[in-house]
Amino acid sequence: MNPWLALILGLVILYFGAQALVKGGASLALRLGLTPLVIGLTVMAFGTSSPEMVVSVQAATTGNGAISIGNVVGSNICNIALILGLCALITPLTASAQVIRREVPIMIGVSVVTLLMLIDGHLARWEGALLLVGLVTYTVLTVKQARAETATEAAKEFADELGTKPAPLGVSVALVIGGLGALIAGSHFFVQGAVRLAESWGMSQVAIGLTIVAVGTSLPELATSVVAVFRKESDVAIGNVVGSNIFNVLGILGIAALVKPIDAPGLEWGDLGVMLVIAVALLPLAKSDGHVNRWEGAGLLAVYVGYTAWLLVRAGA
């Protein structure tokens, strides 16, 4: 199959698979009485990160570990610089106190851990296991905190998308199972196309992972956050991105490394440094007055454009 056709076909299947998974998962979450912010930080974030997860695991198991790590690092950069930057340009974003006090510092912390683990360009099984323990701990603490608000508040937040009440249990479960199946199928085509493009262009797998794969697998986060912004749900937009970045590191790298130790030749300090700097930059932006304004959004977008241009020059594209 033509690599571009495989890439596009895989991306389309991944997108619709993620949409089904998010809708079914959010409906199940409403039944559990989770709050809007917690749904953004867990169900929505983990669901929209599912393309990164299946693509990275697929890449790791087929010996393309560089794509696996490049995908996570590139997606984390894309989520903040491109997605939040674009959302802030549409309308200034309001960060909740919980995001500023807890979630953003946790995101910065896991970014530091990632940098330290990947200094040698290798991620061992024990490091993957450690990351997964961190994910389980984070998820348990987040869900426990969810009881602070009522299920009614969550239902109001997602009324436009889910209706006044969650979908029937059978429909929700079918959406989750069907979505997961589509993600597995889509990841096969997407990784196959990305690897063949990297070979034909003479680009490293890391460069492909940091650019094409990272942006492609981040489309669900982009769609979810932009829709949330138009609905005046800044908490969901910011929570989705921050939660996705936490899950990308703890869950995706953790699972991928546990399945098979990963090597990432071609990954540079600069890539990890950009991911960490952008994560750290979000804290003062949000803390300034609880808002990320349009000028700050434009600055984030400019950083992403500059970083992508540097990647292409470095790759000789």
HEC per residue, the chain: CCHHHHHHHHHHHHHHHHHHHHHHHHHHHHHHCCCHHHHHHHHHHHHHCHHHHHHHHHHHHCCCHHHHHHHHHHHHHHHHHHHHHHHHHHCCEECCHHHHHHHHHHHHHHHHHHHHHCCCCEECHHHHHHHHHHHHHHHHHHHHHHHHCCHHHHHHHCHHHHCCCCCCHHHHHHHHHHHHHHHHHHHHHHHHHHHHHHHHHCCCHHHHHHHHHHHHHCHHHHHHHHHHHHCCCHHHHHHHHHHHHHHHHHHHHHHHHHHCCEECCCCCHHHHHHHHHHHHHHHHHHHHHCEECHHHHHHHHHHHHHHHHHHHHHHCC
Write down the pTM of the prediction.
Answer: 0.78
User: What's the pLDDT score for residue 109?
Assistant: 93
Do residues 54 and 34 lie in contact, with contact meaning Cβ atoms separated by under 8 Å? Answer: no
State yes or no: pLDDT of 10 exceeds 80.
yes
SS (H, E, C) 149-172: CCHHHHHHHCHHHHCCCCCCHHHH
User: What's the pLDDT score for residue 216?
Assistant: 79
Mean pLDDT along residues 113-136: 90
Structure tokens at 2: 């033509």
User: What's the pLDDT score for residue 192?
Assistant: 79
User: What's the pLDDT score for residue 56?
Assistant: 83
| Helix 269-289 and helix 294-315, axial crossing angle in degrees, nearest 10 | 180
State yes or no: pLDDT of 49 exceeds 70.
yes
Confidence of residue 188 (pLDDT cuts 50, 70, 90): confident
What residues make up the domain containing 121?
3-258+266-315
Q: For all residues of the chain together, what is the average pLDDT?
A: 79
Return the minimum-mean-pLDDT range out of 79-83, 100-104, 162-166: 162-166
Structure tokens at 154: 């969550």
> Measured on CA atoms in the order 115, 10, 304, 282, is the torsion positive or negative?
negative
State yes or no: pLDDT of 146 exceeds 50.
yes
Of residues 114 and 31, the one with the higher pLDDT is 114
Mean pLDDT along residues 291-307: 89
Nearest alpha-carbon partner for 47 in 77, 27, 74, 20: 20
Indicate which CATH number applies to the domain containing 117.
Answer: 1.20.1420.30
Confidence of residue 276 (pLDDT cuts 50, 70, 90): very high
Confidence of residue 306 (pLDDT cuts 50, 70, 90): very high
Structure tokens at 41: 């930080």
State yes or no: pLDDT of 160 exceeds 80.
no
> Measured on CA atoms in the order 252, 73, 59, 123, is the torsion positive or negative?
negative
User: What's the pLDDT score for residue 128?
Assistant: 93
- pLDDT tens digits, residue range 168-178? 878 888 888 88
User: What's the pLDDT score for residue 132?
Assistant: 94
Mean pLDDT along residues 144-153: 55
Q: How many domains does the chain have?
A: 1
User: What's the pLDDT score for residue 45?
Assistant: 62
CB atoms inside a 10 Å sphere around CB 116 = 11
Confidence of residue 130 (pLDDT cuts 50, 70, 90): very high
Nearest alpha-carbon partner for 260 in 33, 27, 66, 50: 66
